[in-house]
Amino acid sequence: MNLSKPLLLAPMEGLLDFVLCDVLTRVGGVDRCVSEFIRVSGHLLTDKVFLRYLPELNNGGRTLAGVPVRAQLLGSDPVSMAENAALLATLGPEGIDLNFGCPAKTVNRHGGGAALLREPEQIAAVVAAVRRAVPAQLPVSAKMRLGYDDAGLARECAQAAEQGGACELVVHARTKADGYRPPAYWEQIPAIRAAVRIPVVANGEIWTLADALRCRSVSGCDALMLGRGMVADPGLALAIRAHDAKRQHEPLPWQTLLPQVARFWDLVCADLEPRQRAGRLKQWLNLLRRRYPEAQQAFDEVRVLTDQRAITAWVQRAADLVHQPGNIET
């Protein structure tokens, strides 16, 4: 890991799951991933549930490209969170991350995710319970937003996570009320950094290299967590790495990305339910349109397809183009 300027890959439910983590870490530049949140709601989960969200546990807690994956738990009851964290720890994750940022109404209605940002003392209780329940050498980190309706308790929430024993804090620089609407308020992160002694990672609206550099400058955070920006531009982490190393960097060509699109489709077909498969490919192509003009045509062609065999044939034709004369080999 580049300890001076780490780049983390964000979890995003239904988008940045283990399938896309596998593909994006193959492209390169990412130091660590975080799993989709595993919801804890009063009972002890089974190994099977943990492995469904985090199949990387079968590979030493790493993606097939060798990038460590931290398991994320979401819940509000300290006892239940601690019991599940203890069980999860026996399966060998790289660490455990605690979600205090999810803005989903169904999650918040039951007191989880961003709802806890109204109760700093409960954040401290949850973190402390998990920290006590797992081996001392296992990292326990947390992710939060600036607040629920406003950022009035941001520093108190960050301090609560630190007091509970969190070793690192990711700050998504929006409130729950902001959802995912731009902008991200990076300028509010320095006050949080000043309030704690643990590393703080900036997250939110980092779509380009220029965004990453501005975020570092405004937030004061060298460490960044990349989310939709990395999905839309899988070469984003490599571009940031090249800048940091003062190297020239050529953007990742569409032809180079096509084999990864093919791998993504193979994994989707192997690991996800049939009803999810077509939508997942269309979802990724839709985001790729922000970075690649070629993705627009691909999206238009795939959008009308519903049959898995037809989509597989399209993916194969697209991948075959890479090996035609004049195209880039991968």
Distance CA 155, CA 189 (A): 9
Mean pLDDT of 160-167: 98
Per the document, the length of the chain is: 330
Is a pLDDT exceeding 80 seen at residue 327? no
- The number of CA neighbours under 13 Å toward the Cβ of 136 is 0
In tens, the pLDDT along 262-296 reads 999 999 999 899 999 999 999 999 999 999 999 99
Any catalytic annotation for residue 102?
yes
- The DSSP result for 133-198, as a single string, is HS-TTS-EEEEEEEESSSSTTHHHHHHHHHHHT-S-EEEEEEETTTTT-S---GGGHHHHHHH-SS
Instruction: Tell if the pTM clears 0.85, that is, is over it.
Output: yes
Domain ranges of the chain: 7-244, 254-321
In tens, the pLDDT along 223-245 reads 999 999 999 999 999 999 999 99
Catalytic residue among 21, 33, 102, 215: 102
> How much of the chain exceeds pLDDT 70, in percent?
96
- The number of CA neighbours under 13 Å toward the Cβ of 173 is 28
Q: Could you tell me the two tokens for 111?
A: 């007191």
Catalogue the E-assigned strands of 192-300. Answer: 200-203, 224-226
pLDDT of res. 320: 83
Topology adopted by domain 254-321: Bacteriocin As-48; Chain A (1.20.225)
Is a pLDDT exceeding 60 seen at residue 325? no
Is a pLDDT exceeding 60 seen at residue 312? yes
CATH class of 7-244: alpha beta
Is a pLDDT exceeding 70 seen at residue 4? no
pLDDT range class, residue 330, cuts 50, 70, 90: very low
pLDDT of res. 202: 98
Is a pLDDT exceeding 60 seen at residue 210? yes
Is a pLDDT exceeding 70 seen at residue 101? yes
- State which H helix or E strand residue 146 sits in: strand 140-147
Q: What value does the mean pLDDT of the chain take? A: 94
4 compared with 77, residue with greater pLDDT = 77
Distance CA 243, CA 224 (A): 14
pLDDT of res. 3: 52
pLDDT of res. 323: 55
In contact, 237 and 7? CB cutoff 8 Å? yes
